[in-house]
Amino acid sequence: MEIEYPDILSEYVPAQDRLENNGLQFICQLEPHVVAPGELTALVIYLQNALDVPLQVAIRVHVPSSKEMRRGRSGPLPRPVRFTLLESEMSLAVEAAEMGLLRIPLQIDPATEQGEYGVRCSLAVTPQGRGSRIRPLESQGRLGRTILKDTVGLGLAAAVGVGYIGVPATQVTATITVAGAAEHPPEVDLNPTFVSLWTPEELTVQQKALQEINDRRIHILEQLQIEPMYVALLEESEMAFREMNVPLRVGERIFLAKILTYTAQYFLENVNRQDALLIPIWSDALRNDLSTNDYLAMVTQVGYDRLLRLAIALSFALVSETLGREPWTIEEQRAVADLVLNCASRGESLPIEFLYLPLLLGGLVVAHKMHMPDEDVGHSLQLLARAQSDRTEAFDEELQELNQIFGTLLKSAQQQG
């Protein structure tokens, strides 16, 4: 394998354990996996070609029916079961090295009995020619051990790899739970759709980005020192959150800049993490014909949104580690990150609680680790406490847990001083 292509599959779905058939790596699941009778779900198949030739993929979907047993139950079903799809058999071509997503809508009949069901998917894969591997069956990745609980959507898998194991398989069964009151939905489009998410053209940009970073690495790191980065992030954050209709108070600015600076420094600790942070930022700049000569601006301005997403993931992990428990599920954490980044990219109003959850909570955890020259951390904590007390809309009765966690972390930071 002369060049190992990036693992794009892990950017879209947890894929440390994936299935592989004849050079096709795939993950199959139902989204959503819990629906009411009458609602719509979709069989979603993430497909990644591990060869340098196209693959022809024949797919057969087997849905449950009244003639079959519900999972975990013997005997005939007392009520009808019907999962409707437009086609149970289909085929598509996955180009060399391509990664894409096939979505097959499924309509659950309103009369379907509640319970858990399995939808079986079989894949027959034929390489179009004699191909060579460009993605291995197994990979350790270069990211290494981190505090992060979830790396989906962070750009880390595509940049340096997060590790995976491929398991040979020709079919898989995805489960769905039918529960709740029956719905009677309007007509829906049941046509399958395939979306290409990555093609080899992207590799050229990534290779150029890595070459630039390697050529300039020493000088890049010289510019990315803690204090100037912190100052730059103070300014950039004020502008970014003002566009989301969140004018930052002084204490909020300080602790937001702390967690963003901490995040950048966390990823600058070694070469592999440096690449995980810098390659996506440099690639974005190259795609948009932006100058890459101001390294501090590259991270704090061009890469601000990427740094923000990483800081959200790292903040959740830091808070969880500090509390010794997981207050929020991985799904909730991803939803928060998507909300913040969508508001940032579209200039939409961000509910104020999602400034605190999790970013300012993370800032409290690193309050003393990101101690700036001449800073009185105790005074900074007072400023944040004052800002929080003024944000009554973010800490009402419905957000008691956020209020309690903020209080716990604030007290802990004050005691460290």
Question: What is the SS3 assignment for 146?
Answer: coil
Is 76 a residue whose pLDDT tops 60?
A: no
Query: Which pLDDT does position 49 carry in this prediction?
Result: 98
Query: Residue 69: pLDDT band by 50, 70, 90 thresholds?
Result: very low
Q: What is the mean pLDDT of residues 301-327?
A: 98
Q: What is the average per-residue pLDDT within 396-416?
A: 91
Q: Quick check: 210 pLDDT over 80?
A: yes
Q: Which CATH homologous superfamily contains domain 9-199? A: Immunoglobulins (2.60.40.10)
Average pLDDT over residues 260-288: 98
Percent residues over pLDDT 90 in the chain:
88
Q: What is the mean pLDDT of the chain?
A: 94
Domain residue extents for the chain: 9-199, 203-416
∠ CA(317), CA(159), CA(260), 5° rounding? Answer: 40
In 3D space, the residue among 202, 197, 240 whose CA is nearest the CA of residue 94 turns out to be 197
Q: Which long-range contacts (CB under 8 A, 24 or more apart) does 224-228 make?
A: 224/264, 224/268, 224/295, 224/296, 224/299, 226/261, 226/265, 226/370, 226/372, 227/372, 227/373, 228/296
| pLDDT tops 70 at residue 75 | no
